Amino acid sequence: MKFKGIKLDRLRVGEYVQFATSVIKLLQQNDPAALGIVPQLAAFQSISDLIENLYGTYHGSRITPQIHTLDQRRGRAISGIRLYLGGLVYHYDPAISAAAHTLVRNMKLHGAGIARQNYMAETANISHIIDHWASNAKLAAAVATLQLAPWLAELQAANDAFHTQYMLRTVENAAASPTNIKEQRVLSEKLYYTLRNALGALALVHNYAQPWGNAVNDLNALIGQYKTLLSSRAHEPMPQDEDMAEEL
Would you list the domain boundaries of the chain? 8-61+177-232, 65-174
As a whole number, mean pLDDT of residues 5-32 equals 89
Q: Quick one: what percent of the chain has pLDDT higher than 70? A: 87
Is the pLDDT higher at 119 or at 186? 186
Is 70 exceeded by the pLDDT of residue 240?
no
Q: What is the pLDDT of residue 190?
A: 93
Q: What is the pLDDT of residue 18?
A: 87
- Assess whether the previous peptide bond of 39 is cis (omega < 30° from 0): no
Residue 56 confidence class, pLDDT cut points 50, 70, 90 = low
Q: Using an 8 Å Cβ cutoff, are 229 and 15 in contact?
A: yes
Is 80 exceeded by the pLDDT of residue 231?
yes
Is 90 exceeded by the pLDDT of residue 160?
yes
Q: What is the pLDDT of residue 82?
A: 93
36: alpha, beta or left, given left = phi > 0 and alpha = psi -120 to 50?
A: left
Is 50 exceeded by the pLDDT of residue 248?
no
Is 80 exceeded by the pLDDT of residue 59?
no
Choose among 7, 21, 6: nearest CA to 55: 21
Give the separation between CA 77 and CA 72, rounded to whole angstroms: 9
Is 60 exceeded by the pLDDT of residue 238?
no
Choose among 121, 130, 124: nearest CA to 103: 130
Q: What is the pLDDT of residue 137?
A: 96
**CB neighbourhood size of 238 (10 A):** 7
Radius of gyration of the chain (CA): 29
